[in-house]
Amino acid sequence: MQNADSISLNKYISDTGFCSRREADNYINQGRVTINERPAILGNRVSDTDVVEVDGEPIKKKIKTVYIACNKPVGVTCTTDRKDPDNIVDYLRHPQRIFPVGRLDKDSDGLIFLTNDGNIVNKILRAGNNHEKEYIVVVDQPITKEFIDKMGNGVPILNTITQKCKVVQEGKSAFRITLIQGLNRQIRRMCLALNYKVVHLKRVRVMNVHLGNLPSGHWRYLTPEEIGLINKMVADSSHTEEASKPKPKPAPVKAIVQQEETAAPAAKKATTGRKESVRPVPPKRVTSYKDFRVKGVKKKKG
């Protein structure tokens, strides 16, 4: 008989702050999770009386929920994989186990959330939740009205057409764009499809949280007001497996594929010989949002 107080195994793992539900499913599929010393499978349910272990180590309930806003520098990778020498977890060196909410390209900088709250991660990332992300982008040539119009009305990339979005010119070669999609390297691909190359891309807002004057390489805790509003914004967001299934894509268009294949060699040629970014200096911790003062970042020894 199933315990009325039991919850799904992936939610149990997520609630401890160990990882997100999706990552928990991966651990389970890999045979790295046990319940009371027996191998776990997807769909298992557990209660507080069960002993859940990952890689032979019991996972404990989190002591405190952490929500962080970080101004990620270029060169840092938004991954928890410690094999990547530039992973964001080692870069921040936070005492609690945290993981990034979504991704921000290694060659882009700006706002990224990190947390140990797997539930909110899933709600924010679920497809169709329409949470805004705002970017400032600099390209390699002067912007035209035609470019702004095309970027805002949809650009053919990855065998689909991007959703309409808000695009505003910010300067001769810069623009501000607000997306609710999260296609792989979406802005860079959109620009490339229109024969522009991104020179600098910075994310300045995620949902209700703005980057503000937070210096590159620094982080701060989200305020209770910011966290409260985020929870309200995701309150009606889907958090089931059905919501995570991708929506049907339009049929591939041959001309779109040809356009990307033509543009790709030119982009590759333009980046040939470019040196890799130097690993940034570890960030200085800001412990209080109420008394937020930025101090100089000390260089890591060795």
Catalytic machinery residues: 105
Helix (H) or strand (E) holding 150: helix 145-153
Q: Which long-range contacts (CB under 8 A, 24 or more apart) does 151-156 make?
A: 151/175, 151/177, 151/190, 151/191, 151/194, 155/189, 155/190, 155/193, 155/194, 156/193, 156/253, 156/255, 156/256, 156/259
Q: How far apart are CA 232 and CA 279, in angstroms?
A: 37
- CB atoms inside a 10 Å sphere around CB 270: 11
Pairing mode of beta strands 166-169, 174-179: antiparallel
Q: How far apart are CA 270 and CA 134, in angstroms?
A: 26
Q: How far apart are CA 284 and CA 295, in angstroms?
A: 7
The two three-digit tokens of residue 143, written as one number? 């912007």
Find tokens 């982080």 and name the residue: 219
Q: How far apart are CA 77 and CA 106, in angstroms?
A: 5
- Coil vs helix vs strand at 31: coil
- Give CA separation, 246 vs 75, 128, 186, in Å: 30, 9, 16
The two three-digit tokens of residue 235, written as one number? 């309150």
- Give CA separation, 148 vs 116, 129, 159, 161, in Å: 38, 25, 21, 16
